[in-house]
Structure 1
Amino acid sequence: MRPPDNHVHTGWSWDTPASVTMARACERAVAQGLPAIAFTEHLDFTVWGPDDRATTLGLVDRHASRHEPIDSEGYWAELTEVRERFPELRIWSGVEAGEPHLFASSVAAHLRDAPVDRILGSLHSLSDGDRLYGVGQLLYTDPDATMRRYLGEIVDMVESSDVFQVLAHVDFPRRYWPGGSHRFVEKDYEEEYRAVFRALAGTGRALEVNTSSPLASADQVRWFREEGGEAVSFGSDAHQPGAVGQRFDLAVDVVEAAGFRPGRDRFDFWRR
């Protein structure tokens, strides 16, 4: 059984070309035999309000940002169109909320106007002084300390934000590891990973196995299960149609080796 792809971007995300349409992604999903796809566009903020925690923490800027808001009207028009065009595919609306614990008020305001089916929680940036910086920029100063800080911040994000259903790409910094992702030693951070997984399991939410990142090991997914994790989500993190459902066969092998199996139906998360 092939799982849904719960993490896909199109031209409505600020970091994805306008030529990447929902229709092309759906064509790829159908060709791959996927039962469902979720269009989880980036919900990031460069301007935030007085009620956001980022303001309380004294953050005033996001360094060198190209982030743009979602054009909700255009997004929903295209989503309606592909739902009609691809009746054989379940198509979910969604967002990938960046640093939702820092922008709870802003995220809530967006979702009041444009509620969605799937919400991913992601950590892409960390603070340095009064600015947010992409974690890749901070790794080159001290990768070990940055990785430990990153995982600690994810614990805070899980414990202080309940808006998201799935924790996305817990290995995000590994994509930018100095000298190449092959130099990253997952076992060095087992204690920090387990702290994240305990926090996530305590909320009953799902862990994403992200197939754009260097693929998580069965050991890492097993740590989640051992800490009480109940559900796993699959996400390609595709920013091009050809990447929809990428490496899912291998990801399924990893997840099964860690003790998870298909859920209640073909649209569900995989469960222990």
Structure 2
Amino acid sequence: MMRPPDNHVHSRWSWDTAGSATMVRACERALAQGLPAIAFTEHLDFTVWAPEDRATTDGLVDRHASRHEPIDVEGYFAELAECRERFPELRIWSGVETGEPHLFAASVAAHLRDAPVDRVLGSLHSLSLDGRLYGVGQLLYRDADATMRRYLGELVDMVESSAVFQVLAHVDFPRRYWPGGRQKYAEKDYEEEYRAVFRALAGTGRALEVNTTSPLASVDQVRWFFEEGGEVVSFGSDAHGPDAVGQHFDLAVDVVEAAGFRPGRDRFDFWRR
């Protein structure tokens, strides 16, 4: 089986990742898994935002109970260079995972201007409430159904109003925190909302991520993306520790192939219809 690149990996340079999660260990794991490439996409989140950001215009004042920290750009790129020299047989990409990029366009642009990267993921981890950003897991316990529908609607807004990211990450993110357990989540209940996200994403030609830390996307869900005109799929472990790099990629490949996608132009490419 041709294993795809892992386009979504975190190392110790992400604020929510342990110091023991070094790039070196992640690269060793990628090679052991037979992966051709790995992208270190560290969290790019903001607790202070620019006057030009939409978050300011929308009246957002802070993140609730925030532990977010900025990326140590100098340390990150120094370790990346070390790994590229140490593992020449592995293609190693730089990257960021931008949280709510549609709300922080000016701040994201300023970061990327000073520290350009190879891979940019777009993620929605939080939603606004009464002038603050809350992690979506907190809001699910108020009203899971309404929060999920609002989340998918916000994804449409994010796709339509931000062009900075190449890959839409973990469209199923709220499932990780579903009240009563992931098994109680009924994907089919949100088909129309999913399809709206996928139509918007397909219209931009960008990639949908199949995230293997989130409960694995079903064939139905990836096929909805295919049926709505989606052309590009990315694989991402969302690893926050070296042992998770490339996890469940055999199953993810089966899901993506069953939905109609195939390997791209070469072993480093996204998969395509």
Q: Deviations over 1:40-60 (max 9, x none)?
A: 000000000100000000000
Partner letter of residue 94 of structure 1? Answer: G
> What is the one-letter code of the residue matched to 1:174?
R
Report matched runs for 1:172-183 at 5 Å. Answer: 172-183=173-184
Residues 216-236 of structure 1: CA distance to partner in whole angstroms, max 9, x if unpaired?
A: 000000000000000000000
Deviation string for 1:90-110 (max 9, x for gaps)? 000000000000000000000
Partner of residue 210, structure 1: 211
User: For residues 233-272 of structure 1, what are the structure 2 equivalents within 5 Å?
Assistant: 233-272=234-273
**For residue 66 of structure 1, what is the aligned residue in structure 2?**
67
Match of 1:123?
A: 124
Matches within 5 A, 1:1-272: 1-272=2-273
Distance in 2 between residues matched to 1:26 and 1:11, nearest whole Å:
13
Counterpart Cα distance in 1 of 2:207 and 2:144: 27
* TM-score, length-scaled by structure 2: 0.99
Give, in whole Å, the separation in 2 of the partners of 1:114 and 1:49. Answer: 18
Give, in angstroms, the shift of residue 18 of structure 1. Answer: 1.1
Q: Secondary structure at the match of 1:154?
A: helix
Offset at residue 179 of structure 1 (A):
0.2
Task: Tell me how far apart the structure 1 counterparts of residues 262 and 186 of structure 2 sit (CA, whole Å).
Answer: 27
Q: Unpaired runs of 5+ in structure 2?
A: none
TM-score, normalising length: structure 1 = 1.00
Task: Tell me the secondary structure at the aligned position of residue 101 of structure 2.
Answer: coil
C-alpha distance in structure 2 between counterparts of 1:133 and 1:68, whole Å: 16
Which string of whole-angstrom CA distances, capped at 9 and with x for unpartnered residues, describes residues 74-104 of structure 1? 0000000000000000000000000000000
Runs of at least 5 residues in structure 1 that lack an aligned partner in the other structure? none
Instruction: Tell me, in whole angstroms, the C-alpha distance in 1 between the residues paired with 2:130 and 2:192.
Output: 27
4+ runs of 1 displaced by more than 3 Å? none
Residues in 1 aligned to 2:254 and 2:115: alpha-carbon distance in whole angstroms: 36
Measure the CA separation in 2 of the matches of 1:255 and 1:28: 23
Give the letter for the 1:256 counterpart.
E
CA distance in 2, matches of 1:22, 1:208: 22
Deviation track 1:128-165 (CA, whole Å, cap 9, x = no partner) reads 01000000000001000000000000000000000000
How far apart in 2 are the matches of 1:254 and 1:49? 41
CA distance in 2, matches of 1:54, 1:18: 31
Identity score, percent: 87
Q: What is the CA-CA distance between 1:240 and the residue it aligns to?
A: 0.5
Alignment-mate amino acid for residue 175 of structure 2: R
SS of 1:132's partner is strand
